[in-house]
Structure 1
């Protein structure tokens, strides 16, 4: 298709119109600003938050009031750039960072732009997402893919960024033994990131046998199967510490339940750190006092900042391989969009569902 032809071709997107109802409908793009790029989207992954909107029209405190275009894990090809754009040219393959911060509030000025109160983030109401033929986005949030990194891997930079940001916040290095609670997509990218940051030993914990076998195949040193029962925390902590064969320096709770956080706080050594990544429960009740008395630092994370260049370098160098995480692939048709979201919502052996547009 020639560039001249794009005017006649209608841009289509996958809209969530009501609970469990997705429709491929026209999506009108804003005009191209001087610092923008128009991108033909080629790969989009489905995230847990997308599924929440699909099933409930809400996610945490974000509530959908009107139809919204889905999707925020994405990569594509630059079609057109604004007059001031220097970092990319038409034809470039790019991974896209989905959040636009205001860049002038205190948090943005301090470089903590992920905490910007005025963030416009793909597919967080009322902002439309990127599961569309084309989108317009600031060019400085488009990162050129290295030659040996595919568009699908480019889309995987978004979930991978969460793991990278968590590892930076928790200061992971060659001297930190890591415990990860939860072997879902985010637990797995956190594990891959911790390894790339040099963690010598990583133990991963889950209730699901299949997820643990995936974690093992991706390089976990050992896995521990646990129950969902809070009463069993103390014996499970003993088992986890035995599996570590050393002390647990940093724990990542990539699930976010009372039970997982309680386990992480108890299993981590005095003077260690617990990083809360998952958000299964809006509020938690955990034994903070005994952990604080052992000077265990509790840190939280929200999304990521300045992670795309490092993610792309990890993928380029082969330090991280995200390809095995992609378990299901779908095309961009009404039938397949519905099927893809149902597949992702069902869970089971699904890790990452990917659209190829």
Structure 2
């Protein structure tokens, strides 16, 4: 067996952040029968000398986590063995491999939870998010971050600005998805953007589009409370989707939001066929349509309109080079603030309750704190 790389350890972890520091790796585990339970697992070892071990402080729940719990699979990824869910996390560096250069024990970091092979043509061309050999947290067969510890290469751990709390740091992952979506749309300066879906990703796409200089950002949803929230989170205007044809919705949307001529860019964060059809209908000729949300794998799609408008249709998958760094720069400059997105918080022992909360579509974003974490301290910025 290959020995674990030499570690750089420091006993002076910020004990104000955690209630106890017993060397136990407690994990929240989903079984193939879709039952949750807690397990004490071995403390993860560093796979390479470039790896760091992070004590998880906060983890945001994603719709994919809930989907694995409720359905046991997403596409070809099937829960055949017990798996730890969670991939939106921030924590404290607890150990470093001997070749780690830019991190040290005690650093507060946001985790990029996917590790590409770095050798395939896709990785080498700068699109590592499309790597066929990607080891992505909480995607079978790879465990996620709902545990005491998690290991990643140094390049997948990003230092948080001092004024950003670790509960906010856990949302750098979904923020990076929004950065990637908006980046695919090209230059947004002075352009009009319509975002379908006022869930966490849609709201973050609104905020990023505005930060990138969009002249008008319109968000569309069916939930009044989310539309109201969106007004203070990047949206210039909102529209409540109606149960009518895409053409009728577009006509009403354009009148209510003064979106004359349609949107230069449409981002769909729902995956719902009515929203996609309406989004294509409201897209300007020559515009760009970004598909971010995942719904039914097969839908009726107005491909003729894409051709008639000579529109650009792009799929968006996670995030790529530079997206995490840019997301953190947006936080560092206060152009985007994440705290208000978090509407529900749960201790580690309440993790199943947190999953039920998300499944019930309560609030906007739910965060689970790591084992033994003091919630009050996780909400504070660095000293």
Report the TM-score when normalising by structure 2: 0.88
Contact 2:179 2:208 in 1 (8 A): yes
Do the aligned partners of 2:30 and 2:84 also contact (CA within 8 Å) in 1? yes
Contact kept in structure 2, 1:19 and 1:55, CA below 8 Å? no
Partners of 2:248 and 2:156 lie apart in 1 by: 46
Q: Is the 8 A contact 1:19 1:54 kept in 2?
A: no
Are positions 1:344 and 2:352 aligned together?
Answer: no
Contact kept in structure 2, 1:50 and 1:71, CA below 8 Å: yes
Structure 1 residue 215 displacement after superposition: 1.0
Q: State the match for 1:3 in structure 2.
A: 11
Distance 1:47 1:38 in 2: 23
- Counterpart of 2:74 in structure 1 is 59
Q: Give unpaired runs (5+ residues) of structure 1.
A: none
| Residues 17, 121 of structure 1: alpha-carbon distance in 2 compared, 3 angstrom cutoff | same
Which region of structure 1 is more displaced relative to structure 2, 250-259 or 73-82? Answer: 250-259
More displaced, 263-272 or 245-254?
Answer: 245-254
Residue aligning to 2:380: none
The structure carrying a bigger helix percent of its residues is: 1
The 2-side partners of 1:7 and 1:339 are apart by 25
Q: 2:27 aligns with which of 6, 9, 13?
A: 13
Q: Secondary structure at the match of 2:182?
A: helix
Runs of 4+ in 1 over 4 A off after TM superposition: 4-8
Trace 1:27-66 onto structure 2 (pairs within 5 A): 27-32=41-46, 33-66=48-81
Q: Distance in 1 between matches of 2:218 and 2:21?
A: 53
Shift of 1:48: 0.2
Shift of 1:244: 3.8
- The answer for unaligned runs of 5 or more in structure 2 is 1-9, 14-19, 371-383
Q: Does residue 151 of the first structure (1) align with residue 159 of the second (2)?
A: no
More moved, 62-71 vs 282-291: 282-291
The DSSP-based 3-state class of the residue aligned with 1:353 is: strand
Question: Paired residue for 2:343?
Answer: 327
Using the alignment, how far apart are the partners of 2:33 and 2:190 within structure 1? 47
Q: Alignment partner for residue 196 of structure 2, among 178, 181, 187? A: 181
Matches of 1:10 and 1:245, distance apart in 2: 56
Residue of structure 2 aligned with 1:354, choices 358, 367, 371: 367
Superposition pairs for residues 172-321 of structure 1, below 5 Å? 172-227=187-242, 229=243, 231-242=244-255, 243-247=257-261, 248-306=263-321, 307-321=323-337
Residues in 2 aligned to 1:284 and 1:345: alpha-carbon distance in whole angstroms = 23
Aligned length: 352
Shift of 1:175: 2.0
